[in-house]
Amino acid sequence: MPDFKLIYTDIISEKFPDKINNPMIRNKLNALHTTSEILKFNALIFGQPTYSVECKNQRLRSYDEYSIRGILNYQKKNRLTNTETANHFKTSRNTIARWRSVYKL
């Protein structure tokens, strides 16, 4: 797995030098362990992308087993359908259905 702490430190120091001293960003930067944490941190740094950018980036995402199980537990806990879960996490409903069949909870 890539060293996301180093990658994001370089990006922040180069593009957003004012954010490098923010204690909240520093704490979150030190706690990047799962895919979902990385995606949340990316949204914190760069903000929410526009719709066209979001559609293109959706295809490039990959999730580890821990994040997939977290998403499926969120769905189960909140009694969401596959479509509602997919909209919340910005994935396809077919992806959620596939995860449910592979990772039976």
Instruction: Report domain extents, the chain.
Output: 4-48, 65-102
Whole-prediction pTM:
0.54
Cα–Cα distance measured from residue 39 to residue 42, given in angstroms and rounded to the nearest whole number: 5
Encode the chain (105 residues) as per-residue pLDDT tens digits: 678 888 888 888 888 888 888 888 888 888 888 887 887 888 888 876 655 455 555 666 778 888 899 999 999 999 999 999 998 888 889 999 999 999 886
Cα–Cα distance measured from residue 70 to residue 56, given in angstroms and rounded to the nearest whole number: 24
Residue 18 zone, left/alpha/beta (φ > 0; ψ -120 to 50; rest): alpha
Segment 32-57, tens digit of pLDDT: 888 878 878 888 888 766 554 555 55
- Phi then psi for residue 99, to 5 deg, are -60, -40
